[in-house]
Chain A
Amino acid sequence: MTAVLATWAGPLSQDFFRRAFAAGTAAAIAAGLVGAFLVLRNQVFAGDALSHVAFTGGLGALAFGFAARTGVFTATVAVAILLAVLGGRALVNDVVTGVVFTWLLGLGVLFLSVFTSSRATGNGAGAVRVLFGSIFGIDAASAAQTAWIAAGVVAAMLVIARPLLFASIDPRVAEARGVPVRMLNVVFLVAAGVMVAQLVQVVGALLVLGLITTPAATAQRLTARPWRALAASVAIAVATVWAGLWLSYLSPSLPPSTAIIVTGCTTWLAVEASHRVRHGHRDGPVEIPAGA
């Protein structure tokens, strides 16, 4: 009995695990909520692009002698606004995202070369690590910071949640009813940018992508009701992070981000498969959408 207890509660007696647990839970709540809206609004590519832009921002700041943090936040917020503006009426357009994102990565490569050639000992490895930061390496200060930023983002999301939901589900009707659709889009993308900027630095771009996509995709398959889907997305994100952290602790050769994402994807694929079994998946006659 004590052996079983030690296996399950043991990791919580370790400082690094407690910090990962706290930061991971905060990250999961914010990412689950923001991700649900990204999925609903078909803006996942924009979220993904923001996480890569953080890389350019961090490198740019380092290349010109600023703190990496400053660059990461500035770049993600600026690009969030740029994407919203260039997207035009479509709010965010995947083609625009692809073009902007590619150029910013190109800039990142330039900064990498400036940074590595300006100091003799520099090699790109540290910079590349930005893309795969580790949740098990967080110090207490950044865990607390992550919790505060996540709380701020969640609060902002809750304030705009109602009109944003309306604007996401039916932008035209929302606009006709006086909802500031384009302004909400800017606010939402900036909130997403701030969240992504913080999470990329503590858990890495890879895990950010996993946390904004899989819980939201799973939740959307479980329920068609928007508010329930939001709640389910947050709950699934938190459960996934906890399960992944424990899995990774129990089998050290499995990196925590891989464990969390594989857990999330397995859940999503299982839900997707059972949905198809229950509802069938045949092409059938083509449905002409109303108003077409």
Chain B
Amino acid sequence: MPTTEAWPGVLAAAPRLTWDLGRDVHLLLQYPFMRNAFVAGAVAGVMCGVIGWFAVLRGETYAAHTLANVAFPGASGAVYLGLAPLAGYFGFAVAGAGLIAWLSPPRPGARERHSATVGAIQALALALGFWFVSLYRGFLTSLSGFLFGSFLGVTRDDVAVLLITAIVALAVMAVIGRPLLFASVDPLVAEAAGVPVRAVSLAYLVLLGCAVAEASQFTGVLLVLALLVVPAATASALTARPSLGLALSVGLAVATVWAGLAAAYFTNRPVGFWVTSAGFVGYVLARGAAALRGRPRLRVAAA
């Protein structure tokens, strides 16, 4: 039997999966930490499913990854200065979003040099984070959890903060959703029609930063794309219709997290592995189905 590395000090051995579904679900939810993880996974999945769908549409996948990494100097800097890590996460994510928006090519639709800008900001952020860690040595011991997440240490307070973030983020998305969709699909026409394209883009990047900062507390900074990009990419491979795509993206995000949590619970292997694997299998199936049908996929920003 492997050690209980995935379940810090809670379980002596992995529970066995049986054919009795009711008993399995009961086993799955018997501990409060698992109930919290399921609730957190659902809330994070809904928030990331919506915001991530736009990230895929706009080709901001790399920006999402970078904003997750920007949380690293945020958290380590906050710990070094004696502040709450959460303040560092949000402060740096919002600042990073602003910096990306400011340094990106001004004209809507001009994507060249965008990935260089984003990559350079990420390098700077990681370098600073590494410096803070070397100044304050204690943080390094939890670096692995920071990178790959600890879905299972979620407390009720964490869930409350996550819920508030998600509600605010989704409310803002409801307000800017329509102009953002217009600006993402056709920035030139949107601008001509009076949509404040740059303001909407900035608002979106800030939202993306907040969502990533919040979700990466559970998934770890490296695996946040499993909630943000993989379900959305799968949904976009299946349908080009925005409403259906958003719904699918949210559904897939919640389903992959729940499936990953359950699989991790019964196999005693890391949640991150199961969540990403479930998402990847779904993506490959969706791409295969799309190729078989031969329908054009939604591919606006990838050109």
Q: Report B249-270 CB contacts with A as 1/0, cut-off 8 Å.
A: 0000000000000000000011
Query: Nearest Cβ distance between residue A290 and chain B, in whole angstroms?
Result: 13
Q: A45-B61, A102-B223, A106-B277 are in contact. Are A261 and B115 (CB under 8 A)?
A: no
Indicate whether A179 reaches chain B with its CB closer than 8 angstroms.
no
Q: Report B120-146 CB contacts with A as 1/0, cut-off 8 Å.
A: 101110111011001100001101100
Q: Report A44-76 CB contacts with B as 1/0, cut-off 8 Å.
A: 110110001000000000000000000000000
Q: Whose C-beta in chain B lies nearest to the C-beta of A283?
A: B106
Q: A209-B119, A217-B117, A286-B107 are in contact. Are A94 and B302 (CB under 8 A)?
A: yes
Query: Nearest Cβ distance between residue B132 and chain A, in whole angstroms?
Result: 9
Give the size category of B's interface with A: 35 or more
Indicate whether A107 reaches chain B with its CB closer than 8 angstroms.
yes
Residues of A within 8 A of B269 (CB): 110, 113
Q: Give the complex CA separation of A209 and B124 in angstroms.
A: 9
Indicate whether A173 reaches chain B with its CB closer than 8 angstroms.
no
Indicate whether B248 reaches chain A with its CB closer than 8 angstroms.
no
Indicate whether B103 reaches chain A with its CB closer than 8 angstroms.
yes
Contact with B192, one of A96, A99, A286 (Cβ below 8 angstroms): A286
Q: B106, A281: Cβ atoms under 8 Å? A: yes
Residues of A9-53 at the interface with B, using a CB-CB cut-off of 8 Å, are 38-39, 42-45, 47-48, 52
Q: A42-B114, A93-B302, A95-B229 are in contact. Are A52 and B273 (CB under 8 A)?
A: no
Q: B272, A109: Cβ atoms under 8 Å? A: yes
Residues of B188-224 at the interface with A, using a CB-CB cut-off of 8 Å, are 188, 191-192, 198, 222-223
Give the size category of A's interface with B: 35 or more
Query: Nearest Cβ distance between residue A131 and chain B, in whole angstroms?
Result: 8
Q: Give the complex CA separation of A287 and B123 in angstroms.
A: 32
Contact with A265, one of B115, B123, B141, B188 (Cβ below 8 angstroms): B123
Q: B113, A113: Cβ atoms under 8 Å? A: no
Query: Nearest Cβ distance between residue B59 and chain A, in whole angstroms?
Result: 6
Q: Give the complex CA separation of A39 and B120 in angstroms.
A: 11
Contact with B226, one of A102, A110, A213, A217 (Cβ below 8 angstroms): A102
Residues of B within 8 A of A214 (CB): 120, 123
Q: B223, A99: Cβ atoms under 8 Å? A: no
Q: A45-B61, A128-B143 are in contact. Are A286 and B108 (CB under 8 A)?
A: yes
Query: Nearest Cβ distance between residue B241 and chain A, in whole angstroms?
Result: 18
Indicate whether B162 reaches chain A with its CB closer than 8 angstroms.
no
Stretch at the interface among B2-10, B29-37, B89-97, B173-181: B2-10
Indicate whether B62 reaches chain A with its CB closer than 8 angstroms.
yes
Contact with B131, one of A39, A217, A258, A282 (Cβ below 8 angstroms): A258
Stretch at the interface among A150-158, A159-167, A184-192, A249-257: A249-257
Query: Nearest Cβ distance between residue B278 and chain A, in whole angstroms?
Result: 9
Q: A106, B223: Cβ atoms under 8 Å? A: yes
The majority secondary structure among interface residues of chain A is helix
Q: Give the complex CA separation of A211 and B103 in angstroms.
A: 19
Query: Nearest Cβ distance between residue B147 and chain A, in whole angstroms?
Result: 7
Q: Whose C-beta in chain B lies nearest to the C-beta of A206?
A: B126
Q: Whose C-beta in chain A lies nearest to the C-beta of B112?
A: A42
Q: Whose C-beta in chain B lies nearest to the C-beta of A36?
A: B116
Indicate whether A242 reaches chain B with its CB closer than 8 angstroms.
no
Query: Nearest Cβ distance between residue A39 and chain B, in whole angstroms?
Result: 4
Q: Give the complex CA separation of A48 and B122 in angstroms.
A: 10
Q: A113-B269, A117-B2, A262-B127 are in contact. Are A283 and B198 (CB under 8 A)?
A: yes
Indicate whether A210 reaches chain B with its CB closer than 8 angstroms.
yes
Q: B148, A109: Cβ atoms under 8 Å? A: yes
Q: A44-B62, A48-B119, A258-B131 are in contact. Are A99 and B280 (CB under 8 A)?
A: yes
Q: A220, B303: Cβ atoms under 8 Å? A: no
Query: Nearest Cβ distance between residue A216 and chain B, in whole angstroms?
Result: 6
Q: Give the complex CA separation of A118 and B5 in angstroms.
A: 11
Q: A42-B114, A206-B127, A253-B135 are in contact. Are A99 and B198 (CB under 8 A)?
A: no
Q: Report A91-132 CB contacts with B as 1/0, cut-off 8 Å.
A: 001111111111101110110111011100000110010011
Query: Nearest Cβ distance between residue B253 and chain A, in whole angstroms?
Result: 13
Residues of A within 8 A of B222 (CB): 52, 105
> Could you say which of A38, A52, A132, A264 has the most chain B C-beta atoms within 10 Å of its C-beta?
A132
Contact with A99, one of B107, B126, B135, B283 (Cβ below 8 angstroms): B283
> Could you say which of A39, A118, A254 has the most chain B C-beta atoms within 10 Å of its C-beta?
A39
Contact with A268, one of B120, B226, B233 (Cβ below 8 angstroms): B120
Contact with B188, one of A110, A128, A212, A288 (Cβ below 8 angstroms): A288
**Nearest 3 A/B pairs, CB to CB:** A106-B276, A103-B280, A261-B127
Q: Given contact pairs A95-B61, A98-B61, enumerate 19 new A-B contacts (beta carbons under 8 Å).
A: A38-B115, A44-B119, A48-B62, A93-B302, A95-B229, A102-B225, A102-B280, A106-B274, A106-B277, A106-B280, A109-B148, A113-B270, A209-B122, A213-B119, A253-B135, A255-B131, A258-B131, A283-B106, A286-B188
19 A-B pairs, CB-CB below 8 angstroms?
A: A42-B115, A44-B118, A48-B119, A48-B122, A90-B302, A94-B302, A97-B61, A98-B61, A99-B283, A102-B279, A105-B222, A109-B148, A112-B144, A113-B270, A125-B141, A206-B123, A209-B123, A268-B120, A272-B103
